[in-house]
Structure 1
């Protein structure tokens, strides 16, 4: 009898711990998560959440890319994403993303699992026929990472700039900076070519743009500069030499002055 009671008490204690964990509310603040790699489509999705009173009051699903373009919502809203043609509900990506965001805010379902396929499609969200698993995985990752501390920028959002002219190699540098709660949380450096086609990053990945540098090809070095900007929080804090290079970022031998210039330009709108 005593053994049975002890077993029951242990089970009840375990249930209480599980229940408490399931009911735990996130702290107030802003949260962010980003995919670790670019998708085959060239996009890398992001999620931004705002929590007040233990509830998600705002959710934003967006993305950056390896194409040298603006953010995913901006491209979709401008008619350059192209989902509306393939969508069975006739909605563009940014419209469907908004439906998913609204669902999360209204349902508060941070552990969403109502998928109808392994790819992550669902029938539970009206106004969204695209797969949503990536969004909810990022929601979980953002909450797990904890709230972001307040940064120095007055505005949050996605800030993009492109160099006003092509350089002697035919490239114009681009910068897409993500700011959340006044903090730079993501920096995307790329360049587009005057003749069109793949971006500098994609060409470097494919091997059609080669430097044969000891520190790695351009697509290997550029993320190090991006990470340095996220750490510094201000492009002006990355010292650039007269030759356009920097000693401030380890493992970088490429010129960075073009990125610093477009990053400064992009962030003007955040100040």
Structure 2
């Protein structure tokens, strides 16, 4: 005869499973379930607006508003993200977060750092709204793909090196023909970078000069001595490339997108970028925002990294690049002497802390000369590369006439060091004499060239 099963023996495991299920569900809906509560979709906020600081390509300040159970608004109190590159991320990522009521949403391709910065900022605001604490950049999150997570985010890097790279050419110059004036044309691509101890790019900015100086068939310069040449970044959409662009992007927008792409990478990694026959990237993350040839960008960045020197710059600092170009040194040809169509560019890269103080500075200059005779013929070998004054070093030859025996690049470096710790207004206030030379005794011992151009370019970069 079969024994009847004990009802308690049957119910015990059932009751256990029910209790366990209730326990698990309570944890899940409380937001404490791993990977769920961290994403912030469970509410439990103290209503109000929370102001947080975070890092995209640059510093951002977000104002995030909560009700008891929802994120109701995300606004930018301050942001300096690159126009044309970060616009979509600034508009779309907050919308996606509000729709999902969670910070872990899809970012915008081509604007990874801006997207991640917004998400990290909202994450911090959610923690604060729940009465917790946190940091705008989670040290366990690699905000710059390609960097070693153990080293932390690139924005936390310290004692970075700062460098400038210039790639220039005179090859587009042409002599007068068919009744049209000739043109001495300098094309220069310029990159400024900060680099960490592992050679990874922490910040990058790219600009270019296209200086055209006219001359006629008699060798007379037709461009005014007071002509100033704007860079392609300064021209913005007035440069006009966007009209012929298959993606409707201007040169400045594409340069900014490539500069953002370079962050977190080494030169070797950048040089491994796949390009098509025209030199444009084929990488799907990049070709939606960059369709022009990137060879000049890569070469300038490689030079900038190679030229980078030690500084007190930090990963949280802002990198700025400025260029001033003039034609004032140009001279017309005569029957006895060749003329010179000359563009002079002074270049400065600075890093600025949150108080606007300069934490590092590099100054360089490009002196591009095209010799012409009294018939308008070009006498310069246009295939010869044009080196900057820093690249020329002692070969520039100023040290021979210097009262302190210092070359131009040495004096530029001394001035660069002198301005560290100063703001743009303090740089503008540096005392000079009638010749534009330094009047400060601390500066005169190491800089005897006219410092007015240095003051002007550093002030422009630091503003």
**Please, what TM-score do these two structures have when normalized by structure 1?**
0.54
Q: 2:257 — aligned with what?
A: 99
Q: 2:66 — aligned with what?
A: none
TM alignment of 1:113-192, pairs within 5 A: 113-124=272-283, 125=286, 126-143=288-305, 145-149=306-310, 157-160=321-324, 162=326, 175-180=344-349, 181-185=360-364, 187-189=365-367
Match of 2:194 among 30, 33, 50: 50
Task: Determine helix, strand or coil for the equivalent of 1:182.
Answer: strand
* 1:64/1:188 contact within 8 Å kept: no
**How far 1:162 moved relative to its partner?**
4.6
**How far 1:205 moved relative to its partner?**
9.1
TM alignment of 1:174-253, pairs within 5 A: 175-180=344-349, 181-185=360-364, 187-189=365-367, 201=369, 204=372, 208=376, 228=396, 229-233=408-412
* 1:84/1:93 contact within 8 Å kept: yes
Q: 2:178 — aligned with what?
A: none
**How far 1:47 moved relative to its partner?**
1.7
* 1:175/1:266 contact within 8 Å kept: no
TM alignment of 1:19-30, pairs within 5 A: 28-30=160-162
Q: 1:67 — aligned with what?
A: 212
Task: Determine helix, strand or coil for the equivalent of 1:35.
Answer: strand
Once residues 116 and 139 of structure 1 are traced to their aligned partners in structure 2, the CA distance between those partners, rounded to angstroms, is 17
**How far 1:70 moved relative to its partner?**
2.7
- Are the structure 2 counterparts of residues 59 and 38 from structure 1 closer, same or farther at C-alpha, using a change threshold of 3 Å? farther
Q: Which has the higher contact order (CA 8 A, sep 6+)?
A: 1
Match of 1:89 among 241, 247, 271: 247
Runs of 5+ in structure 2 lacking a partner?
1-147, 152-158, 173-184, 214-228, 313-318, 334-339, 350-359, 397-407, 416-431, 436-448
Count of residue correspondences? 200
Q: Is the helix fraction higher in 1 or 2?
A: 1
Give CA-to-partner distance per residue, 1:18-49, whole Å, 9 cap, x none: xxxxx9x9x83112222253453741212211
Q: 1:34 — aligned with what?
A: 166
**Please, what TM-score do these two structures have when normalized by structure 2?**
0.34
**How far 1:146 moved relative to its partner?**
4.6
**How far 1:59 moved relative to its partner?**
0.7
Once residues 206 and 177 of structure 1 are traced to their aligned partners in structure 2, the CA distance between those partners, rounded to angstroms, is 29
- Are the structure 2 counterparts of residues 157 and 90 from structure 1 closer, same or farther at C-alpha, using a change threshold of 3 Å? same
Higher Rg: 2
**How far 1:101 moved relative to its partner?**
0.9
**How far 1:103 moved relative to its partner?**
1.1
- Are the structure 2 counterparts of residues 206 and 97 from structure 1 closer, same or farther at C-alpha, using a change threshold of 3 Å? farther
Task: Determine helix, strand or coil for the equivalent of 2:372.
Answer: helix
- Are the structure 2 counterparts of residues 103 and 204 from structure 1 closer, same or farther at C-alpha, using a change threshold of 3 Å? same
- Are the structure 2 counterparts of residues 94 and 147 from structure 1 closer, same or farther at C-alpha, using a change threshold of 3 Å? same
Q: 1:270 — aligned with what?
A: 458
- Are the structure 2 counterparts of residues 119 and 206 from structure 1 closer, same or farther at C-alpha, using a change threshold of 3 Å? farther
Once residues 59 and 265 of structure 1 are traced to their aligned partners in structure 2, the CA distance between those partners, rounded to angstroms, is 24
Deviates more, 1:87-96 or 1:46-55: 46-55
